[in-house]
Amino acid sequence: MEFRPIRPDEVPVWRQFQEYCFHTEPADFDPWMASKFQIEHTRSLFTDGGQMAAACANYPWQLHFEGARLGMGAIASVASLPENRRGGHVGRMMQHLIIEMKERGIPLSALYPFHQGFYRRYGWDVACTWIDHEIPVELLGHLRKYSGVIDRHLPGQADWREIAPVYQRWAASRRGYVARETEHHWRTAVYATLPGRNWHTAVYRPAAGAAPEGYLLYRFANDAPRKLQVRELVALNPAADRALWGFIANHDSQVKFVKLRQARTWPLWHLVDHTYDVKSTMESGWMLRLIDLKAAIEARPWPGAPNGSLVIGVTDEQAPWNAGTWRLEFENGRAAVNLAPAETPSLSASVQTWAQWYAGFVRPDQAVATGRLSGTDARSLALLAGATAGEEMFFFEFF
Ligand SMILES: CC(C)(COP(=O)(O)OP(=O)(O)OC[C@H]1O[C@@H](n2cnc3c(N)ncnc32)[C@H](O)[C@@H]1OP(=O)(O)O)[C@@H](O)C(=O)NCCC(=O)NCCS
C-alpha cells in the first residue's frame, strides 16, 4: 500500500471521503475547499490497485512553549468509506503518519477524536480538558462601566494584523498555544469560513489610537434564549480583561447568557460574586502524542524544573524509538534525555501516560494513584511534578 499526499486529479475522491464521512453537503463544503484546503497537507493510503483506502490531513503547526516553538502535527479529516471499514486501513495510515512526523522532525501531534479509545491504541491520549461556562449576563452587570476604547468589527471585516501582535505577546510565553503567523492560518483556523461560523471582533485599546492590548472573538447564537458565545478572550493586562468583560456585559439587552470555553484552571470567581448561577460543564478536549519523546522533552524549556535527574521506562508499540529506559536530566531549566539501557527505571509508563504528564494534564501522583505510572520513588515523582507544575497545555484551534 502507498501512503502519500494526494495528487490534483485525486482531489474529488478525497473530497468525497470528507463529504460522506462528515455528513457535509457539497455546497457547504465548497467554502472549506476554497479557503482551507491545501493539497500538500493531505495524506491518503492507497491500495496496491491505486484506490484511495483512507484519507486525512496533517497540518504542520508549531506550538509556543515558554519562549520556544515545537512542531505539532495537527491531524484532521481522518476518514474511510463504510464499505471498507474495519479493514485496518486507517490504523495503517496512523502508523505511517507517526513515522513520517518522526522523519520530518515533528515531535508532537494532536487531534480531536471521534472516539478516544480508537486513537489511544496508536499512542495518543487525552491531554486537555476544558470547561464550558454559561454565565447569565445579568451576573456581569457590575462590569458595564469600564475605561479604554473598544473598536468593533463585524464578521469578515476584521484585519487579523490588528490583533495578531496581541495574540503573539500573550501566547509566546505560555504552554501549548498555536503559533499563528500566516494570513491563511488566521483566515481558516481562527476565523473559520463555513457559513454561520464567522466571528465578530472587539479590540481593546487603553486610549484611542494606542496599540491594542486585548481582543475578543465572539458571535451570537440566536437559539432561545439568546447567547453570546466567546471564542477567544485575550487580554495582556487586567485593564484589558476588565474592559472586554465590560463590553460583553453591555449586551444584556440582546442576550441572556454568555458562553465561554476556558482551560479548567481559569478563575471564574473574579468575575461574578455568586458562581452557583453559572452552569459549568467539563469536557475532554484534544489528544496528544509524543511522536519523538526525546526531542519533545529536550526542545522545550522547563523553567520550573528543579535540577536533578531520574530514570524512566517507556512503552510504545507504534513508535519503537520512544520505547526503552531513558535518563532525564533537568539542569537550569533545560532537559537532556538519553537512552540508559543498563539502568533501572524508577518510574515507568506507556507513551500515552507520558504525553499526559508532558501536557500537565495528569500529575505524577495522580498517574500513580490510578495505576498508569508504576514506581514509588518520591524524589523522582517530585522532580516530574516540579517540571510540569503551573499552566497546563491549551490551545483554541479546532481542526
Ligand atoms: C473512524 C473511522 C476513520 C475508522 O475507519 P476504519 O477504516 O474502520 O479504521 P480501521 O479499520 O483501521 O480500524 C482500526 C481499529 O479500530 C477499530 N475501529 C474501527 N472503527 C471503530 C469505531 N467506530 N469505534 C471503535 N473502534 C473502531 C477497528 O475494529 C480496528 O480494530 P482492530 O485493529 O482491533 O481490528 C471511520 O469509521 C470513519 O471514517 N468514520 C467517519 C468519520 C470519522 O468519524 N472520522 C474520525 C474523525 S476523528
pLDDT 10s digits, 307-323 = 999 999 999 999 999 99
Give the distance (Å) from ligand 1 centre to CA of residue 364: 31
Ligand 1 contact, 145 CB (< 6 A): no
Per-residue DSSP letter, 197: -
Q: Given this model, what pLDDT does residue 353 score?
A: 98
Neighbouring-strand partners of residue 64: 69
Nearest CA to ligand 1 atom 44: 114
Q: Given this model, what pLDDT does residue 195 score?
A: 59
Give the distance (Å) from ligand 1 centre to CA of residue 36: 25
Ligand 1 contact, 317 CB (< 6 A): no
Which range among 42-56, 84-98, 104-118, 218-232 shows the weakest confidence by mean pLDDT?
218-232
String of DSSP letters for 1-18: -EEEPPPGGGHHHHHHHH
Question: Are both 147 and 275 inside the same structural domain?
Answer: yes
Question: What are the pLDDT digits (tens) for 248-283?
Answer: 999 999 999 999 999 998 988 889 989 999 999 999
Domain boundary among 282, 309, 331: 282
Q: Which atom of ligand 1 is nearest to the CA of 84?
A: 7
**Mean predicted confidence (pLDDT) in 367-375:** 97
Question: Distance between CA 373 and CA 382 in Å, rounded?
Answer: 14
Nearest CA to ligand 1 atom 25: 118
Question: Are both 338 and 277 inside the same structural domain?
Answer: no
Per-residue DSSP letter, 186: I
Ligand 1 contact, 23 CB (< 6 A): no
Question: Are both 315 and 188 inside the same structural domain?
Answer: no
Ligand 1 contact, 20 CB (< 6 A): no
Q: Which atom of ligand 1 is nearest to the CA of 79?
A: 39
pLDDT value at 145 more than 80: yes
The CATH number that applies at residue 322 is 3.30.1050.10
pLDDT value at 197 more than 80: no
**8 Å CB contact between 246 and 233:** no
pLDDT band at residue 193, thresholds of 50, 70 and 90? low
Question: Are both 44 and 173 inside the same structural domain?
Answer: no
Angle at 16 between CA 10 and CA 18, to 5 degrees: 110
Q: Which atom of ligand 1 is nearest to the CA of 111?
A: 48
Q: Which three cell numbers stand for residue 393?
A: 497545555
**Mean predicted confidence (pLDDT) in 284-290:** 98
φ, ψ for residue 126, nearest 5 deg: -60, 125
In a domain, 197, yes or no: yes
Angle at 150 between CA 144 and CA 154, to 5 degrees: 110
Question: Are both 342 and 317 inside the same structural domain?
Answer: yes
Question: Are both 270 and 318 inside the same structural domain?
Answer: no
Domain coverage including residue 245: 131-282
Q: Which atom of ligand 1 is nearest to the CA of 112?
A: 48
Question: Distance between CA 370 and CA 221 in Å, rounded?
Answer: 40
Handedness of CA 307, 308, 314, 319 (dihedral sign): positive
pLDDT band at residue 224, thresholds of 50, 70 and 90? confident
Give the distance (Å) from ligand 1 centre to CA of residue 86: 6
Neighbouring-strand partners of residue 69: 64
Question: Are both 176 and 261 inside the same structural domain?
Answer: yes
Rg of the chain over Cα atoms, rounded to whole angstroms, equals 23
Total domains in the chain come to 3
pLDDT band at residue 194, thresholds of 50, 70 and 90? low
pLDDT band at residue 231, thresholds of 50, 70 and 90? very high
pLDDT value at 379 more than 70: yes
What is the rounded average pLDDT for all residues in the chain?
Answer: 96
- Containing 204, the helix (H) or strand (E) segment is strand 200-205
- Is the pTM for the entire model greater than 0.85? yes
Which range among 22-36, 68-82, 332-346, 373-387 shows the weakest confidence by mean pLDDT?
22-36
Ligand 1 contact, 21 CB (< 6 A): yes
Q: Which atom of ligand 1 is nearest to the CA of 81?
A: 39
**8 Å CB contact between 109 and 72:** yes
Pocket test for ligand 1, best of 18, 24, 78 (most atoms within 8 A of CB): 78
Q: Which three cell numbers stand for residue 102?
A: 518522526
Which range among 110-119, 141-150, 181-190, 311-320 shows the weakest confidence by mean pLDDT?
181-190
Question: Are both 276 and 135 inside the same structural domain?
Answer: yes
In a domain, 254, yes or no: yes
Ligand 1 contact, 86 CB (< 6 A): yes
**8 Å CB contact between 101 and 58:** yes
Question: Are both 136 and 278 inside the same structural domain?
Answer: yes
φ, ψ for residue 330, nearest 5 deg: -100, 125
Residues 6+ apart with CB under 8 A from 11: 37, 39
Question: Distance between CA 216 and CA 236 in Å, rounded?
Answer: 12
Q: Which three cell numbers stand for residue 352?
A: 500515552
**Chain centroid to CA 13: how far?**
29
Give the distance (Å) from ligand 1 centre to CA of residue 6: 21
Pocket test for ligand 1, best of 16, 75, 86 (most atoms within 8 A of CB): 86
The CATH number that applies at residue 182 is 3.40.630.30
Question: Are both 249 and 225 inside the same structural domain?
Answer: yes
pLDDT-above-70 percentage for the chain: 99
In a domain, 241, yes or no: yes
Q: Given this model, what pLDDT does residue 99 score?
A: 98
Pairing of strands 308-315, 347-350: parallel
String of DSSP letters for 73-86: EEEEEEE--GGGTT
Domain boundary among 71, 106, 141: 106
Question: Are both 299 and 276 inside the same structural domain?
Answer: no
pLDDT value at 196 more than 80: no
The gap between the terminal CA atoms of the chain, to the nearest Å, is 27
Give the distance (Å) from ligand 1 centre to CA of residue 271: 43
Nearest CA to ligand 1 atom 39: 79
